[in-house]
Amino acid sequence: MLNLRSAKPINLLRLHHRAHFSRTYHHHSKKSGSRRSSPRGQSRKPIEIPFLDEVKQCQDPDQALSLFYQYQEEGFKHDYPSYSSLIYKLARAGNFETVETLLDSLMKHNIRCKESLFMSLFEHYCKAKMSFKAVELFKNMKSFNCVRRLQSFNAILNALIDNDCFSDANEIFRESSKMGFRLNSISFNIMIKMWLQIGDWNKAREVFDEMLEREVAPTVVTYNSLIGFLCKRDDLDKAKDLFKDMVKKGKRPDAVTYALLMEGLCSMGKFKEAKKLMFDMEYRGCKPGLVNYGVLMTDLGKRGEFDEAKRLLLEMKKRKINPDVVMFNILINCFCKEGRVAEAYKLLVEMQVGGCQPNAATYRMMVDGFCRAGEFEDGLKVLNAMLTSRHFPRIGTFFCLFSGLVKSGNLDNACFVLEEMEKRKIMFELKSWEGLVAELCGEDKGVNEFMTELIASS
């Protein structure tokens, strides 16, 4: 039963006016010859449908539903755009009971539907742990006056796998021929992804072999999935064999292919070989990108080779490859962990001067780095910049800075941190307060009194 009483009130006067317009629109659009050609040189303006405009502005799904029935009562005849707009909104809100009511209505009125509606519902059903509903809907698509194409088949496979419904996905995949589908590379890539996600190399390889038997050409994505899996397993010899097979079959490796091999080499302690591979790829006509330099930078950071990492950054600039925020974050994080906060801060300034904006992770690493170094006032400056940029720290970062300011006797700034937390409705747990008070016992009396007052007021 649909509960319309609980929905927000609708402006009925405005609704009546719009419904009158809509009835007029539907009346004229059905007349023969109603599609008049526009004067030469003038483009036809799309006809606005009032219900769609209003339902898109509704934040509350219940209000959108009320609006749907109010329009219907006023004589507006809903078509596919009306139903799909409302169904999308209700599915996002998890109101699947009403979604099914509307789907029944679509079927009853024999309204022609588009595949995109069902593809979206597959995802929402699977995310809500209702994979059986997604499968049922997929099998019944023809009942909705909708042609079920391979695009829908791939969409249901992907939705099931992304939500760990592996047995359902495998069952549908095996029934593809009975359903009349001629699978493409995307279908096989999705299944290969599934088996690799589970960690079953043999099954993934079986799907790959089946792909070849059915004369479906593997893509770069196919090879990258398999090579990446082998590199993570340190089975570099097999990965290289696949790489050779890829080249032999005329598939040109991309920057990601080389990055996966480079990552495998780095994990085995072969940094020089990984760097050499980056120059080999350029010789083969594949330009190195951020992903390739990122692999090298990450490895250098893990090994504490900071000077080499900085040289790599300069090399990128010479090649006119602009480092992105991820690249800077790798290096900033490494410097902060090593206690070289001043150098990390220089990098922060450098990236901003170069037009690369820090993200929440950049600021958080810098604040935490200054706190670990005992430089709490510098940490507060970075926090201010972070808040100004509309990024927010985690509660652990707030606590680390607050406790450091209190311990150093900077109570005014400690209060400022608490005020900023209060604005964002963030609060420390009682255990954190108790631990801080216990740590401060026997220290400055003024600090103890300050802490006692804070706890009493919180």
For the segment 96-112, what is each residue's pLDDT rounded down to a tens digit? 999 999 999 999 989 99
Query: What is the rounded CA–CA span in Å between residue 238 and residue 230?
Result: 7
Does residue 420 sit in the same domain as residue 449? yes
Does residue 347 sit in the same domain as residue 424? no
Does residue 345 sit in the same domain as residue 435? no
Residue keyed to tokens 């006692």: 452
Per-residue pLDDT at 1 exceeds 70:
no
pLDDT digits (tens, 9 = 90+) for 285-324: 899 999 999 999 999 988 888 888 889 988 888 888 888 8
Q: What's the token pair of residue 323?
A: 């480092």
Does residue 93 sit in the same domain as residue 3? yes
Compute the C-alpha angle 394/400/405, nearest 5°: 130
Does residue 340 sit in the same domain as residue 440? no
Query: What is the rounded CA–CA span in Å between residue 148 and residue 234?
Result: 42
**Residues 445-452: contacts with CB under 8 Å, at least 24 apart:** 446/409, 446/411, 447/406, 447/407, 447/409, 447/411, 450/406, 450/411, 451/406
Query: What is the rounded CA–CA span in Å between residue 182 and residue 336?
Result: 54
Q: Is 77 inside any structural domain? A: yes
Does residue 451 sit in the same domain as residue 361? no
Please list, residue by residue across 374-388, b when 16 or more beta carbons sit within 10 angstroms of its beta carbon and e when fewer do: ebbebbbebbebbee
Q: Which pLDDT does position 239 carry in this prediction? A: 96
Q: Is 231 inside any structural domain? A: no
- Where are the strands (E) in 145-219, listed by range? none
Residue 108 CB partners (closer than 8 Å, separation 6+) = none
Q: Are 148 and 114 in contact (CB under 8 A)?
A: no
Percent of the chain at pLDDT exceeding 70: 83
Q: Is 239 inside any structural domain? A: no
Does residue 343 sit in the same domain as residue 438? no
Does residue 357 sit in the same domain as residue 410? no
Q: What's the token pair of residue 20?
A: 């009158």
Q: Are 138 and 152 in contact (CB under 8 A)?
A: yes
The domain boundary, picked from 60, 80, 111, lies at 111
- pLDDT band at residue 19 using 50, 70 and 90 as cut-offs: very low
Q: Which pLDDT does position 443 carry in this prediction? A: 52
User: Which phi and psi angles does 434 have, rounded to 5°?
Assistant: -60, -40
- Tally the C-alpha atoms within 13 A of residue 413's C-alpha that lie toward its C-beta: 20
Q: Are 67 and 51 in contact (CB under 8 A)?
A: yes
User: Which phi and psi angles does 171 have, rounded to 5°?
Assistant: -65, -45
Does residue 104 sit in the same domain as residue 4? yes
Q: Is 269 helix (H, G, I), strand (E, B) or coil?
A: coil
Q: Which pLDDT does position 418 carry in this prediction? A: 84
Q: What's the token pair of residue 35?
A: 């599609």
Q: Is 183 inside any structural domain? A: no
Residue 132 to residues 33, 322, 396, 441, Cα–Cα distance (Å): 46, 47, 41, 59
Per-residue pLDDT at 150 exceeds 50:
yes
CB atoms closer than 10 angstroms to residue 274: 23
Q: How many domains is the chain built from?
A: 3
Domain span at 57: 1-27+48-111
Q: What's the token pair of residue 202?
A: 């043999």
Query: What is the rounded CA–CA span in Å between residue 90 and residue 92?
Result: 5
- pLDDT band at residue 419 using 50, 70 and 90 as cut-offs: confident
Helices (H), 338-444: 341-353, 360-372, 376-388, 395-407, 411-423, 430-440
Q: Are 90 and 65 in contact (CB under 8 A)?
A: yes
Q: Are 83 and 111 in contact (CB under 8 A)?
A: yes
Q: What is the 3-state secondary structure (H, E, C) of 132-195?
A: HHHHHHHHCHHHHCCCCCHHHHHHHHHHHHHCCCHHHHHHHHHCCCCCCCCCCHHHHHHHHHHH
Residue 176 CB partners (closer than 8 Å, separation 6+) = 153, 183, 187
Q: What's the token pair of residue 142?
A: 């023809």
Query: What is the rounded CA–CA span in Å between residue 18 and residue 75?
Result: 11
Q: Is 127 inside any structural domain? A: no
Predicted model pTM: 0.76
Dihedral sign (CA 161, 166, 167, 172)? positive
Q: Which pLDDT does position 50 carry in this prediction? A: 75
Comparing CA positions, the residue from 74, 98, 129, 77 lying closest to residue 7 is 98
Does residue 13 sit in the same domain as residue 82? yes
Does residue 357 sit in the same domain as residue 431? no
Please list, residue by residue across 86-103, b when 16 or more beta carbons sit within 10 angstroms of its beta carbon and e when fewer do: bbbbbbebebbebbeebb
- pLDDT band at residue 18 using 50, 70 and 90 as cut-offs: very low
Q: Are 205 and 229 in contact (CB under 8 A)?
A: no
Does residue 87 sit in the same domain as residue 8? yes
Please list, residue by residue across 32-48, b when 16 or more beta carbons sit within 10 angstroms of its beta carbon and e when fewer do: eeeeeeeeeeeeeeeee
Comparing CA positions, the residue from 150, 149, 236, 164 lying closest to residue 194 is 164
Residue 145 CB partners (closer than 8 Å, separation 6+) = 110, 111, 112, 113
Comparing 63 with 178, the larger pLDDT belongs to 178
Q: Is 246 inside any structural domain? A: no
Q: Is 222 inside any structural domain? A: no
pLDDT digits (tens, 9 = 90+) for 53-65: 777 777 788 888 8
Q: Is 131 inside any structural domain? A: no
Per-residue pLDDT at 134 exceeds 50:
yes
Q: Which pLDDT does position 62 carry in this prediction? A: 83
